[in-house]
Structure 1
Amino acid sequence: MSGRPSTGEAVGLLESELRAARETRADLGAEDVWRAFLRFGRVRFDTPDTPDVDGLLFQYGTHAFDAPATFTLDFTRQFDVIDSDGEHDHYVQVHCELRYGLAPALQDLGSFNSWFFHDVEDDLDHWAQALRNQPVWTAISALKPAETRVYQEPV
């Protein structure tokens, strides 16, 4: 036993970090959510000792997956699920999505994504700091998300 939480506890731990950031989720801005996600990102889970098994994804863009088109800023943690033979079976992703309206300034950003993998990349703080240069932060600085969703899905 590693003493680390299981990946099945990931959504609950992310929710706890979000609650610690503000009184209610409606009070959370992108900065609050990002800081909570990074705290969550520092928690190491009980995962196999293989490369690319525990990754963080920062992504944004305009999408219409399950509703009318919105600009979405999505912080995702992805775990590789290994089968009994030690081979890749599927991934589980824990998302924290911030959805905004379709302001032209947001649509003009296009889309972007960047990955970080524990035990492969150099430093989580370095990755996070590099993302602070993304134009999305300026574009959303005065905006509150219309919706913040936390969910888990197999992919």
Structure 2
Amino acid sequence: MTRRPSVDEAVGLLEGELGPRAFADPVPEDVWFAFLRFGHQLFHVPDTPDADGLLFQYGTYAFDGPAMFALDLTRQFEVSDSDGDHDHYVQVHCELRYGLTPALEALGSFRSWFFHDAGADLEEWARVLTEQAVWTTIRELKPAEIRVYQERV
């Protein structure tokens, strides 16, 4: 039986999929495909519905300064307590942030979830998202920043 990595290993595994080039000169499509490779990896999570999910979202936000457009690729894991009951979620984010342009603002906001246990096909989910207009818009833009981080929610 193959050992599944723990949630504590998720950031390192995502950073490994991204590679150093993504942090020096991020290419949005390359970041997306690295995130999908990360999304294919199965982790040790509770055997409960929606314990392991992927989130594709974008929009204009003012997180910790001026408003920026963010493409946020997130993996969410459920964490249980010692009795096996839900305790909290851990989210591992890969964010591409852009300075605002009229074209980015015109995209508005969008989000789509995928859960490994929901019977949906990850490749089909990814294919539909790859056809989103956001890719055409950001293809010609250089991200101002890429951030990979983990948070408890």
Does the TM-score normalized on the shorter chain lie above 0.5? yes
Q: CA deviation at 1:86?
A: 2.1
Q: CA deviation at 1:133?
A: 2.0
The 5 A counterparts of 1:57-72 are 57-72=55-70
- 8 Å CA contact 1:2–1:46 kept in 2: the answer is no
Matched position secondary structure for 2:107: coil
Q: CA deviation at 1:85?
A: 2.5
Structure 1 residue ranges, 4+ long, deviating more than 2 angstroms after superposition: none
Matched position secondary structure for 1:119: helix
Query: Of 11, 36, 39, which aligns to 2:37?
Result: 39
| Aligned position for 1:16 | 16
Query: Of 137, 145, 148, which aligns to 2:146?
Result: 148
Query: 2:119, 2:58 → 1: CA distance?
Result: 21
| Aligned position for 1:132 | 130
Query: 1:77, 1:114 → 2: CA distance?
Result: 12
Matched position secondary structure for 2:21: coil
Q: TM-score, normalised by structure 2?
A: 0.95
Flag structure 1 segments of 5+ consecutive residues without an equivalent: none
Matched position secondary structure for 1:153: strand
Matched position secondary structure for 2:35: helix
Distance 1:126 1:24, change over 3 A: closer
Query: 1:5, 1:75 → 2: CA distance?
Result: 20
Matched position secondary structure for 1:131: helix
Q: Deviation digits for residues 21-40 of structure 1, max 9, x if unmatched?
A: x6351222110100000000
Q: CA deviation at 1:66?
A: 1.2
Q: Deviation digits for residues 111-140 of structure 1, max 9, x if unmatched?
A: 000000012132100000011221101111
- 8 Å CA contact 2:22–2:31 kept in 1: the answer is no
Q: Percent identity?
A: 69
Q: Deviation digits for residues 53-107 of structure 1, max 9, x if unmatched?
A: 0000000000001121100000000001112222211110000000001000000
Q: Between Structure 1 and Structure 2, which shows a larger proportion of helix residues?
A: 2
